[in-house]
Amino acid sequence: MSNPILVEVTRGKLVESVHRGAFAVADAKGALRLQAGDVERPIFPRSSLKPVQAVPLIESGAAAAFGLSDEELAVACASHSGEPMHTTRVAAWQERIGCSVADLACGPHRPVHEPTAIEMIVRHEKWTPLHNNCSGKHTGFMTLARHLGAPVAGYQLIDHPAQSMVEKTLKEMAGLSGALPYGVDGCTVPNFALPLTALARAMAQFADPSGLAPSRREAASRVMRAMTAHPDLVAGTGRACTNLMRESRGIVVKTGAEGVYIAIMPELGLGAALKIDDGAGRASETAIAALLIALGAVRDDGAAAALARAAVPNTRGVAVGERRAVFEAFGK
């Protein structure tokens, strides 16, 4: 059985390409509200895991001990674009905990924000691990290590206490037991695989933290406060996550590599998780927007609508096709 087509890309009158995928929408107890495709196969959440990866940082007391601001926590949950607003905050935070860019386990990559990349090229500057979209998350792990009195070096390894705490937190929030399969993420930290149903349930805990122990409830609420207050820090200028969150105060959305997206909808008390089979980011953006519209979680005439149905331009800027969600697949 193959997953349903969630997104199609047309040219002229024909469908040129299609993207299949699966998604699950669950409440905090794990009851499924909406689903499509194979939602039980383990998938890697990649960067959509970041809200969960930030929970131990707060729950452990590390965030309070080091006086982390909401802005810093937003960057800890970010796949940021490497703009100055991101990198300067990460660098200042590292200095406060007695660390530096040299302690980052993640490798350098070109800033996602193209004007920043171009400015750097013109100035003959090299990108560093600070520009890695995950540098905030890594600085969170370094802060947690400091607070635990554990070595900062090796914070990215599977047997470091920081990673053990992430796995334990994820399993508890997702309602899973036993060791989770994992792979190494692009930024070198472990990424744990789990079914979309379980990932959606974990995200629903942020939307409705009433069933969590007080310390975790507080941590989950702090993650939500930080992310919703600073959508520009969670992604960056012009990014889908930023635009969707900015327009829909209260909702959190977070992209992950290889076609993953999660959504946290406090007003509905629901979490959502989706994965495009082929890993395409153009499709995951389109699909999460359609899902939010189908759930009535966002306006149907703003940023989400613009993502759910967008013109495909040629190199002269003329529309020659469109990228669009197959709304029927989302029950709408």
Binding site for a second copy (CB under 8 A): 2, 9, 11-14, 16-20, 42-44, 105-109, 118, 121-122, 124, 129, 132, 181-188, 191, 193, 258-259, 276-280, 283, 314-318, 320-321
DSSP 3-state assignment of 8?
strand
Per the DSSP assignment, residues forming a β-bridge with 252 are 264
- Sequence-ordered strand ranges (E) for 187-257: 190-192, 194-195, 252-256
Smallest gap from residue 316 Cβ to a second copy (A): 4
Smallest distance, Å, CB 215 to a second copy? 31
CB of 257 to a second copy, least distance (A): 9
Neighbouring CB atoms inside 10 A of 159's CB total 8
Residue 145's closest CA among 131, 128, 159?
A: 159
CB of 182 to a second copy, least distance (A): 6
The distance of closest approach from Cβ of residue 43 to a second copy in the complex, given in angstroms and rounded to an integer, is 7
Of 195, 154, 151, 157, nearest in space to 176 by CA: 195
Instruction: Name which of 208 and 277 has its Cβ closer to a second copy.
Output: 277
- 34, 134, 149, 160, 307 from 324: Cα distances, Å: 20, 29, 50, 43, 8
Q: Which is nearer to a second copy, 229 or 312 (CB)?
A: 312
The CA distance from 117 to 83, in Å, is: 9
Residue whose CB is less far from a second copy, 12 or 178: 12
The smaller minimum CB distance to a second copy, of residues 210 and 315, is found at 315
Instruction: Pick the closer one to a second copy by CB: 185 or 208.
Output: 185
